[in-house]
């Protein structure tokens, strides 16, 4: 299936309507040349520039990637550039990496947007005859499958890496009220699905194509209410973010549930409306929190490390952060200049999707060990 | 009278928790008031504060916002949305010495989850109260209001020009109430009965929907829309 750029998906009637509207809406229709808004963003260090581990916020991808999202001329003419010079994501949520492409569930467009990390160009990804209606999360599974959680269709959409639609995955016996996929994760050839209506983690065996027993924490632990984020640690522990219970549950592959990380609250290391989680190679766990408007960072044992949040005038912070994805440095084909200027190489890059905020997709660098300093020196 | 958005108060951590409930209720527009300077003593709090909380809890039971069962039973009715935890955000320091004192620190009192103090006042940007709603109504925990056809410019990112998909949608969350246009009623008339809140003069989620379901009508509206009553509270037709 050929790749469809934005221009192709814009139908003529829609364009005509847009033209009419551009004449009456003050925020639209300004004829302006696309300006690559390469404003400078001074990297911010969390918790501080000399702390280990620390995270460095480089800025948003539209500023960091070479030619991020070249706005199609028609759209530019009809609607003008966004106020900060880019056509960016509208409501980015879950993310996954497919080759050099960052796949982003953009609920505002109701599409999957693929951003090439090598050159910043973007395109609408997927089968135009089977577009998702409410994509909230996405996962890539071996060998050639992409899964999209669709909250409106209440099913998991299965695409090939060639973008062809292959089918829907949903429990046959489950009513719509019992299945709302909100999070996806693939491990050991099993597709894990955070089911916020069923308050459980459903499991689909990708080999036998059968549903396995669902996962629910034991009664000795708080109830799992709304699993909106799933990720595996390096040693195979399944992390499950509970957006309502405000905890991160931990399930070991031997069937044992470890104590949850975090608890509801506004103190350090507490959570309000956590959404998704990712894990770095060094074991840091990063949780997006749409209540705290931040990313809360824990170490491998669940101890609070730092929180990435607004910094008065320097950075106005996140507005409903949602997705979070850890990339090893070799998966970042074009390291941003802001990262190159650092004295050490990050052990990981983190991309955060800010579903309602100005920055859309943020890039962080993770520095987990002082050993890195000497590596750069060599 | 205590109250106000993002209420901050100098209080002792031992203050009566019922006072905090009162502040919360005032924030939600159940009562009106100004800024908090100092906490009221327990004796000065409104006598019916506990009753109001009980009323809210009663109206919540059985609604879609009733998470009591899935959260684990009694005592959890409010905790899905309200985080009952105080956090010192700006410890007081001794003049000159920078030593922390044991005396009143600035604390955030029962702010609703997701509430922010700052937002772009000149944009179609959801305000603090709406962020609470959108924290769940993003398609994951509950029906999405971002990509759906129901509403909203909430689906538009901060600073983003109005996109084509959204121009036919109505009731943008965070839009200033157009009080100065003749096809709309005056803001004071809209809010007079106390049923339709316009936080900071803007149309937010809670302008039409009551998260506590006090009216008990379909879609958790703030009032019945029979014969377009809710619509006509704002629109002059």
- Could you tell me if the ipTM is greater than 0.85? no
Judge whether A342 and A354 are in contact, CB under 8 Å.
Answer: no
Count CB atoms within 10 A of the CB of residue A109. Answer: 23
| CA B71 vs CA A89, A217, B86: distances in Å | 34, 13, 21
Closest CA of chain B from A326, distance in Å? 21
Closest by CA position to B126, among listed B74, B174, B90: B174
Q: What is the rounded radius of gyration, in angstroms, for the C-alpha atoms of chain B? A: 19
Closest CA of chain B from A91, distance in Å? 7
> Is the minimum CB–CB distance between B164 and chain A shorter than 8 Å?
yes
> Is the minimum CB–CB distance between B109 and chain A shorter than 8 Å?
no
3-state DSSP assignment of residue B227:
helix
In this predicted structure, what is the pLDDT of residue A47?
94
Cα–Cα distance measured from residue B125 to residue B174, given in angstroms and rounded to the nearest whole number? 5
Best mutation target, A266, A275, A358, to test chain B (most B CBs within 10 A): A266
CB crowding A123-155: b at 16 or more within 10 Å, else e: bbbbbeebbbbbbbbbbbbeeebbbbbbbbbbb
Closest CA of chain A from B166, distance in Å? 9
Q: Do B158 and A151 touch (CB under 8 A)?
A: no
The minimal CB distance from A80 to the residues B70, B71, B161 is found for B161
How confident is the prediction along chain A (378 residues), in pLDDT tens digits per residue? 333 333 333 334 444 444 443 333 333 322 222 333 445 688 999 999 889 899 999 988 877 876 665 555 555 565 555 443 444 677 899 999 999 999 999 887 788 988 888 877 778 899 999 999 999 999 999 779 999 999 989 999 999 999 999 999 999 876 667 999 999 999 999 999 999 999 999 999 999 999 999 999 999 999 999 999 999 999 999 999 999 999 999 999 899 999 999 998 888 899 999 999 999 999 999 999 998 889 999 999 999 999 998 887 788 788 889 999 999 998 888 777 766 666 678 999 999 998 877 778 899 999 988 765 445 443
3-state DSSP assignment of residue B218:
helix
> Is the minimum CB–CB distance between A121 and chain B shorter than 8 Å?
no
> Is the minimum CB–CB distance between A361 and chain B shorter than 8 Å?
no
Q: What size, in residues, is chain B?
A: 237
Contacts of A109 by beta carbon, 8 Å cutoff, 6+ apart: A89, A90, A91, A124, B147, B165
Cα–Cα distance measured from residue A348 to residue A339, given in angstroms and rounded to the nearest whole number? 11
Q: Do A134 and B154 touch (CB under 8 A)?
A: no
Judge whether A56 and A364 are in contact, CB under 8 Å.
Answer: yes
What proportion of chain B, given as a percentage, has pLDDT over 70?
49
**Closest residue in chain B to residue A16, using alpha carbons only:** B164
Q: Do B83 and A265 touch (CB under 8 A)?
A: yes
Strands, E assignment, B16-156 = 87-90, 106-108
Best mutation target, B82, B147, B204, to test chain A (most A CBs within 10 A): B147
**Closest residue in chain B to residue A109, using alpha carbons only:** B147
In this predicted structure, what is the pLDDT of residue B62?
84
Closest CA of chain A from B197, distance in Å? 22
Closest by CA position to A65, among listed A353, A365, A332, A356: A332
Q: Do A265 and B85 touch (CB under 8 A)?
A: yes
Cα–Cα distance measured from residue B180 to residue B186, given in angstroms and rounded to the nearest whole number? 7
Q: What are phi and psi of B128, to 5 degrees?
A: -55, -40
What's the pTM value of the predicted model, to 2 decimals?
Answer: 0.79
> Is the minimum CB–CB distance between B138 and chain A shorter than 8 Å?
yes
Q: What are phi and psi of A15, to 5 degrees?
A: -65, -40
Q: What size, in residues, is chain A?
A: 378
Q: Do B160 and A88 touch (CB under 8 A)?
A: yes
DSSP state letter for B40: P
For residue A363, what are the β-bridge partners? A59, A351
**Closest residue in chain A to residue B131, using alpha carbons only:** A320
For residue A274, what are the β-bridge partners? A289
Residue with tokens 């398609």: B139
In this predicted structure, what is the pLDDT of residue B104?
34
Token pair in block for residue A348: 């990981």
> Is the minimum CB–CB distance between A265 and chain B shorter than 8 Å?
yes
Q: Is B42 left (phi over 0), alpha (psi -120 to 50) or beta?
A: alpha
Residues of A in contact with B126 (CB under 8 A): 356
Angle between helices B49-60 and B17-27 (to 10 degrees): 60
Token pair in block for residue B220: 């958790």
> Is the minimum CB–CB distance between A9 and chain B shorter than 8 Å?
no
Residues of A in contact with B172 (CB under 8 A): none
Judge whether A249 and A242 are in contact, CB under 8 Å.
Answer: yes
The minimal CB distance from B85 to the residues A18, A183, A267 is found for A267
Cα–Cα distance measured from residue A276 to residue A286, given in angstroms and rounded to the nearest whole number? 8
Closest by CA position to B77, among listed B86, B67, B87, B85: B67
Residues of B in contact with A136 (CB under 8 A): 138-140, 144
Residues of A in contact with B119 (CB under 8 A): 319
CA torsion, ordered B107, A273, A59, B91, to nearest 10 deg? 10
Cα–Cα distance measured from residue A348 to residue A286, given in angstroms and rounded to the nearest whole number? 12
Q: Do A266 and B156 touch (CB under 8 A)?
A: no
Helix or strand run (H / E) with residue B187? helix B187-191
Residues of B in contact with A152 (CB under 8 A): 139, 144, 147-148
How do residues B86-121 score in pLDDT, each as one tens digit?
Answer: 443 333 333 333 333 333 333 343 444 444 544 454
Closest CA of chain B from A374, distance in Å? 37
Cα–Cα distance measured from residue A285 to residue A328, given in angstroms and rounded to the nearest whole number? 14
Interface of A with B in 293-332 (CB under 8 A): 293, 316, 319-320, 322
Residues of B in contact with A91 (CB under 8 A): 138, 146-147, 155, 157
| Helix count and strand count (H, E) for chain B | 7, 5
In this predicted structure, what is the pLDDT of residue A91?
82
Question: What sign has the CA pseudo-torsion B72, B75, B78, B79?
Answer: negative
Best mutation target, A16, A35, A151, to test chain B (most B CBs within 10 A): A151
Cα–Cα distance measured from residue A222 to residue B129, given in angstroms and rounded to the nearest whole number? 27
3-state DSSP assignment of residue B124:
coil
| CA A174 vs CA A198, A207, B20, B221: distances in Å | 9, 21, 42, 29
Interface of A with B in 182-201 (CB under 8 A): 182-183, 196, 199
Residues of A in contact with B67 (CB under 8 A): 225, 244
CA torsion, ordered B9, B15, B16, B22, to nearest 10 deg? 0
Question: What sign has the CA pseudo-torsion B175, B176, B181, B183?
Answer: positive
Residues of B in contact with A241 (CB under 8 A): none
DSSP per residue, A93-104:
EEEEEETTEEEE
The minimal CB distance from B71 to the residues A108, A245, A267 is found for A245
Cα–Cα distance measured from residue A270 to residue B219, given in angstroms and rounded to the nearest whole number? 32
A-B contacts (CB, under 8 Å): 174
Strands, E assignment, B101-187 = 106-108, 175-176
The minimal CB distance from A107 to the residues B72, B139, B160 is found for B139
| CA A60 vs CA A34, A69, A357: distances in Å | 18, 13, 11
Contacts of B77 by beta carbon, 8 Å cutoff, 6+ apart: B57, B60, B61, B66, B67, B68
In this predicted structure, what is the pLDDT of residue A204?
96
Token pair in block for residue B92: 């007081």
- Average pLDDT of the residues in B190-198: 93
């Amino acid at each position: 299936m050929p790749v469809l750029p934005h221009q192709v998906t814009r139908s003529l009637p829609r364009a005509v309507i847009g033209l009419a509207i551009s004449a009456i809406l003050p925020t639209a229709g300004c004829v302006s040349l696309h300006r690559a808004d390469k404003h400078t963003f001074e990297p911010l260090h969390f918790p501080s520039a000399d702390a280990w581990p620390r995270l460095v916020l480089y800025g948003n991808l539209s500023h960091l990637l070479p030619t991020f999202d070249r706005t199609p001329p028609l759209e530019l003419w009809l609607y003008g550039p966004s106020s900060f010079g880019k056509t960016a994501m509208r409501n980015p949520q879950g993310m996954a990496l497919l080759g050099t492409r960052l796949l982003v569930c953009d609920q505002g467009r109701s599409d999957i947007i693929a951003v090439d990390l090598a050159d910043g160009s973007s395109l609408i990804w997927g089968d135009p005859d089977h577009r998702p209606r409410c994509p909230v999360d996405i996962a890539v599974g071996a060998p050639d499958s992409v899964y999209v959680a669709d909250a409106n269709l209440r099913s998991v959409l299965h695409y090939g890496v060639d973008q062809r639609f292959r089918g829907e995955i949903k429990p046959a016996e489950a009513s719509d009220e019992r299945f709302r996929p909100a999070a996806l994760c693939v491990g050991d050839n099993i597709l894990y699905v955070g089911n916020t209506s069923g308050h459980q983690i459903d499991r689909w065996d990708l080999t036998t194509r059968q549903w396995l027993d669902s996962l629910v924490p034991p009664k000795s632990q708080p109830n799992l209410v709304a699993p909106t984020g799933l990720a595996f640690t390096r040693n195979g522990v399944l992390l499950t973010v509970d957006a309502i219970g405000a905890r991160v549950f931990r399930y070991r592959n031997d069937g044992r549930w470890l104590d949850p990380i975090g608890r509801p609250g506004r103190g350090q290391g507490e959570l309000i409306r956590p959404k998704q989680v990712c894990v770095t190679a060094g074991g840091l766990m990063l949780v997006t929190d749409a209540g705290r408007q931040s990313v809360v960072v824990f170490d491998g044992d669940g101890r609070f490390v730092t929180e990435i949040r607004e910094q008065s005038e320097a950075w106005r912070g996140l507005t409903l952060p949602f997705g979070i994805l850890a990339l090893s440095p070799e998966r970042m084909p074009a390291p941003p200049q802001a990262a190159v200027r650092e004295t050490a190489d990050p052990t990981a890059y983190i991309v955060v999707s800010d579903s309602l905020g100005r920055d859309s997709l943020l890039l962080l660098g993770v520095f987990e060990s002082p050993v890195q300093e000497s590596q750069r020196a060599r | 009278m205590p109250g106000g958005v993002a209420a901050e108060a100098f209080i002792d951590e031992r203050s009566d928790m019922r006072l905090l409930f009162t502040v919360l209720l005032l924030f939600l527009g159940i009562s009106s008031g100004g800024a908090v300077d100092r906490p009221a003593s327990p004796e000065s709090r409104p006598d019916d504060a506990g009753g109001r909380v009980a009323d809210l809890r009663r109206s919540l039971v059985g609604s879609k916002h009733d998470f009591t069962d899935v959260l684990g039973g009694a005592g959890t009715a409010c905790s899905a949305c309200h985080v009952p935890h105080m956090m010192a955000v700006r410890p007081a320091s001794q003049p000159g010495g920078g030593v922390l004192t044991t005396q009143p620190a600035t604390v955030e009192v029962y702010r609703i989850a997701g509430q922010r103090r700052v937002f772009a006042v000149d944009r179609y940007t959801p305000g603090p109260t709406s962020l609470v709603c959108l924290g769940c109504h993003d398609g994951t925990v509950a029906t999405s209001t971002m990509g759906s056809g129901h509403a909203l410019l909430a689906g538009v990112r901060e600073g983003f020009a109005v996109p084509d998909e959204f121009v036919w949608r109505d009731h943008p969350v965070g839009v200033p109430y157009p009080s100065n246009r003749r096809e709309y009623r005056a803001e004071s008339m809209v809010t007079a009965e106390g049923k339709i809140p316009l936080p900071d003069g803007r149309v937010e989620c809670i302008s039409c929907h009551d998260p506590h379901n006090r009216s008990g009508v379909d879609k958790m509206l703030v009032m019945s829309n029979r014969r377009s009553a809710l619509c006509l509270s704002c629109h002059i037709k």
